[in-house]
Chains A and B, each alone.
Chain A
């Protein structure tokens, strides 16, 4: 067990607000408004939405998005047997589940560090993962979470939040870039080196913000015990950010005069440094009038649930003309801030909208082919669910869900499971669209891990229904992996495959095909 040390400032923030763990019942009205915005956009552009998703479709999608894995067999079975799915109940239950906290804690740890949450040379991603998981489990108001991350102090093997600072070396410039990009959706980094003529943010803003981190110091223990590796972050009582004034004339030795940068936030007078500097920064970031913090979070959560952001970033916010996407962003951000920055409420609002619950399946079209530009329009108006490759982690958790595989989260054998994406130091932004790669396909094709899953899956079916592959086997495997029943043709098709060789091998082949199929490795 690890304790989380929060410093005095964080504690006072915690006391100052009421944690709204209970869900307000009125998200339905916000979901409706969301749907109305989408509908208005569709009408204006004459776009026909796809039909609502079936229960089986919804169940699989929402499990993958909220819990990071496919639904368990028993739930898929109930839906397939025709029991009516209470979608609101499913969502409520998932939001309270440990799987939700784990999945979203992980998504956010990866997002904040651009890396997989492992122990590295500079910080301990595992502690940050624990911290984020706990935050999602408690449904900590987002403003408090941001405060905790910026105000972190202590040692990297004990404190979770301090590892966010350590990821950026606890240094002013990298932290300023990270805070602006990851919390505000702004590319302030460019202003580190120069004033861009068209950018709203100037070099002065960058360094004024950076000066709030000027007194942070990363230290290593002088006499670590054997095998011990950790860092300590402290805030010193004095010290200023000093750098060379590149605009000034160098002296006769060619050295530039030094310039002290005092903490100052964009649009504000010089910060009151009688208070802890980072607390001043947090107060500025989290004030209700800051349009960026909430909108960036909403934009980010939307991307996790729909596969694409509403806006690329907030550099040009507010936009010159309103659009469906900016209306959606405003609607959800306003509701988010007026309900105590409640992330679970935001997720619930989105996934219980009709928009999220659209189908992605065109089966009604029969053999007709859809005009690609129409499809593109439906996607950009959010009325066709996007097909998204599962992340390596989702794939992995799903195999566990289907066949009861257990493994150590920090085990590097994971790398073998789904290919190169699992290496610890690869930035996560490579994972999104890129996760369909030849390397990964090769691992699914013949990796040890997958081979094990194939055996386990076929053995389970054999134990229940005997060793001759029949309809029962195939149906169970479909429900386990694809959360639906096979059609009559599919039953025939897979019975043929299963019966083509030795029965045991035949059944393994069935599992292999399902596991390598586009239907299994995507969320749709």
Chain B
């Protein structure tokens, strides 16, 4: 019988200081000493693939321009499409990447790539951005889970269920089973958890599985969430009505407004990564009416989020990202729609660790190809990780002992990063 990594680790920890021990400590130290970096990240995921031409990379005068006009932004010479005026006004607080490119034009595949930085692999589920951040930036003092996802579900990755998100479906009542019945003592809960840990330990021994321990950790995490007020029911219309309105509570169904406001509260509570799923961008037909509506929500929600974070002094420590799985064709189809287009598309990045007020990359006159500075999805990920103070050159080991690079050959966009 060969010596497994686990028994080696046990031996190593018994021996006190060890090779493993010291390398883990030094990497933790390196990550925490980076003060110029973002502590948390909010990702607004534009599910379906937004039309870059009708939002952040307009092509006025081109045959592919569509029916929207281009408007000036705070950055001279840089235009946005007409239905994101507030973001245009805040463009000096944004970095606009206009040359993202990938080869995945299918929703599922492209969403996997955009979330994990790896193309889909049926045998190996790579962690999504939020899981990786939760894993690398775990804070043992934090009662809230490190990764919270608003509406979007994720498969369990190779990091295991512990680093999956807590998913909020109902923004009015984020965690429905949180309050213990009256008279239920903390001592009793402690007893239950200790017994569960013991019994799950037996399971792991029998089945040679990490699952019992994963489950114990998840249950302990569920227990700790009780201490985090941010998961109690919250009504922004009663608590902060004016701000909620600025977020866009009256725009469309008000979902994004509520989601963005919740994201701010979560970041305030120390959550490391919040993903907001904002769908509806798959505009194969009736593109222009749909993008106009969606833009209204996005414009109010994201611009207010930037201002709100700034007013609270949180913008410099929060990385903000807004991107979809791909863009849409410059060509307008017979149904007045635009189809999937991974060749060249845009993203917005703002907040901590980012050199804002600039545009990176450029698409051609009609938007059909990249003109300069192609940015691959792994490059994009490398940029985000670096902005959060993670070292992408390092070899990491997943909990199951597997070697895991944060990105596959991704190179950070240097000019985007605060040095």
Which residues of A have CB within 8 Å of B29? none
Asked whether B58 is an interface residue with its Cβ less than 8 Å from the other chain, the reply is no
Q: How far is the CB of B343 from chain A (nearest CB, A)?
A: 13
Most chain A CB atoms below 10 A, which of B177, B214, B400: B177
Asked whether A223 is an interface residue with its Cβ less than 8 Å from the other chain, the reply is no
Asked whether B206 is an interface residue with its Cβ less than 8 Å from the other chain, the reply is yes
Assess whether B178 is in contact with A501, with CB atoms less than 8 Å apart: no
Which residues of A have CB within 8 Å of B339? 193
Which residues of B have CB within 8 Å of A434? 153-156, 164
Assuming the contacts A372-B401, A517-B200, asked whether A447 and B177 have C-beta atoms less than 8 A apart, the reply is yes
Assess whether A501 is in contact with B188, with CB atoms less than 8 Å apart: yes
Query: How many pairs of A and B residues are in contact by the CB < 8 Å rule?
Result: 153
Q: Could you tell me the distance between the alpha carbons of A112 and B204 in the complex, rounded to whole angstroms?
A: 35
Which residues of A have CB within 8 Å of B178? 442, 446
Asked whether A256 is an interface residue with its Cβ less than 8 Å from the other chain, the reply is yes
Q: Could you tell me the distance between the alpha carbons of A265 and B156 in the complex, rounded to whole angstroms?
A: 39
A521: nearest residue on chain B (CB-CB)?
B215
Residues 369 to 415 of chain B near chain A (Cβ within 8 Å): 400-401
Asked whether A312 is an interface residue with its Cβ less than 8 Å from the other chain, the reply is yes
Which residues of B have CB within 8 Å of A439? 166-167, 175
| 8 Å CB contact of B334 from A256, A360, A516 | A256
Asked whether A138 is an interface residue with its Cβ less than 8 Å from the other chain, the reply is no
Q: Could you tell me the distance between the alpha carbons of A517 and B214 in the complex, rounded to whole angstroms?
A: 11
Assuming the contacts A438-B164, A438-B166, asked whether A369 and B222 have C-beta atoms less than 8 A apart, the reply is no
| 8 Å CB contact of A442 from B7, B177, B188, B203 | B177
Q: Could you tell me the distance between the alpha carbons of A436 and B222 in the complex, rounded to whole angstroms?
A: 13
Assuming the contacts A190-B106, A437-B164, A505-B188, asked whether A445 and B156 have C-beta atoms less than 8 A apart, the reply is no
Q: Could you tell me the distance between the alpha carbons of A420 and B145 in the complex, rounded to whole angstroms?
A: 16
Residues 340 to 384 of chain A near chain B (Cβ within 8 Å): 360-363, 365, 367-372, 375
Asked whether A153 is an interface residue with its Cβ less than 8 Å from the other chain, the reply is no
Asked whether A423 is an interface residue with its Cβ less than 8 Å from the other chain, the reply is yes
Asked whether A475 is an interface residue with its Cβ less than 8 Å from the other chain, the reply is no
Interface residues on A, range: 35 or more
Which residues of A have CB within 8 Å of B155? 430, 432-434
A440: nearest residue on chain B (CB-CB)?
B218
Assess whether A445 is in contact with B2, with CB atoms less than 8 Å apart: no
Asked whether A448 is an interface residue with its Cβ less than 8 Å from the other chain, the reply is yes
Which residues of B have CB within 8 Å of A362? 206-208
Assess whether A441 is in contact with B175, with CB atoms less than 8 Å apart: no
Asked whether B237 is an interface residue with its Cβ less than 8 Å from the other chain, the reply is no
* Size of B's binding interface in residues, CB under 8 A: 60
Asked whether A23 is an interface residue with its Cβ less than 8 Å from the other chain, the reply is no
Residues 405 to 438 of chain A near chain B (Cβ within 8 Å): 416, 420, 423, 426, 430, 432-434, 436-438
A363: nearest residue on chain B (CB-CB)?
B206
Q: How far is the CB of B116 from chain A (nearest CB, A)?
A: 14
Residues 160 to 209 of chain B near chain A (Cβ within 8 Å): 161, 164-167, 169, 175-181, 188, 191-192, 195-196, 198-200, 202-209
Assuming the contacts A434-B155, A445-B223, asked whether A387 and B209 have C-beta atoms less than 8 A apart, the reply is yes
Taken residue by residue from 1 to 25, chain B's Cβ proximity to chain A (1 for < 8 Å, 0 otherwise) reads as 1101111000000000000000000
Asked whether B211 is an interface residue with its Cβ less than 8 Å from the other chain, the reply is yes
Which residues of A have CB within 8 Å of B191? 497, 500-501, 509
Assess whether B208 is in contact with A312, with CB atoms less than 8 Å apart: no
Residues 226 to 257 of chain B near chain A (Cβ within 8 Å): none
Asked whether A518 is an interface residue with its Cβ less than 8 Å from the other chain, the reply is yes
Q: Could you tell me the distance between the alpha carbons of A446 and B6 in the complex, rounded to whole angstroms?
A: 33
Q: Could you tell me the distance between the alpha carbons of A522 and B212 in the complex, rounded to whole angstroms?
A: 10
Assess whether A451 is in contact with B181, with CB atoms less than 8 Å apart: yes
Asked whether B125 is an interface residue with its Cβ less than 8 Å from the other chain, the reply is yes
B213: nearest residue on chain A (CB-CB)?
A518
Which residues of B have CB within 8 Å of A444? 219
Assess whether A370 is in contact with B4, with CB atoms less than 8 Å apart: yes
B169: nearest residue on chain A (CB-CB)?
A420
Residues 138 to 160 of chain B near chain A (Cβ within 8 Å): 145, 153-156
Which residues of A have CB within 8 Å of B165? 437-438
Q: Could you tell me the distance between the alpha carbons of A521 and B216 in the complex, rounded to whole angstroms?
A: 12
Asked whether A103 is an interface residue with its Cβ less than 8 Å from the other chain, the reply is no
Assess whether B169 is in contact with A387, with CB atoms less than 8 Å apart: no
Assess whether B153 is in contact with A360, with CB atoms less than 8 Å apart: no
Asked whether B86 is an interface residue with its Cβ less than 8 Å from the other chain, the reply is no
Assuming the contacts A255-B334, A371-B4, A439-B167, asked whether A518 and B215 have C-beta atoms less than 8 A apart, the reply is yes
Q: Could you tell me the distance between the alpha carbons of A134 and B211 in the complex, rounded to whole angstroms?
A: 37
Q: How far is the CB of B292 from chain A (nearest CB, A)?
A: 22
Q: Could you tell me the distance between the alpha carbons of A266 and B164 in the complex, rounded to whole angstroms?
A: 43
Asked whether A443 is an interface residue with its Cβ less than 8 Å from the other chain, the reply is yes
Q: Could you tell me the distance between the alpha carbons of A431 and B156 in the complex, rounded to whole angstroms?
A: 10
| 8 Å CB contact of B222 from A363, A442, A514, A522 | A442
B223: nearest residue on chain A (CB-CB)?
A445
Asked whether B344 is an interface residue with its Cβ less than 8 Å from the other chain, the reply is no
Which residues of A have CB within 8 Å of B207? 360-362, 387, 524
Which residues of B have CB within 8 Å of A522? 211
Residues 4 to 58 of chain B near chain A (Cβ within 8 Å): 4-7
A494: nearest residue on chain B (CB-CB)?
B195
Most chain B CB atoms below 10 A, which of A190, A493, A519: A519
Residues 247 to 286 of chain A near chain B (Cβ within 8 Å): 255-256
Asked whether B122 is an interface residue with its Cβ less than 8 Å from the other chain, the reply is yes
Jot down 12 A-B pairs with beta carbons below 8 A, ordered by A.
A189-B106, A256-B334, A369-B4, A369-B6, A370-B4, A370-B208, A430-B153, A438-B161, A438-B165, A438-B218, A441-B222, A524-B207
Interface residues in chain B, defined as those with a beta carbon under 8 Å from any beta carbon in chain A:
1-2, 4-7, 105-106, 122, 125, 145, 153-156, 161, 164-167, 169, 175-181, 188, 191-192, 195-196, 198-200, 202-209, 211-212, 214-215, 218-219, 221-223, 225, 333-334, 339-340, 400-401
- Pick the 9 closest A-B CB pairs, nearest first: A518-B212, A442-B222, A441-B218, A436-B161, A447-B177, A445-B222, A518-B203, A438-B166, A430-B153
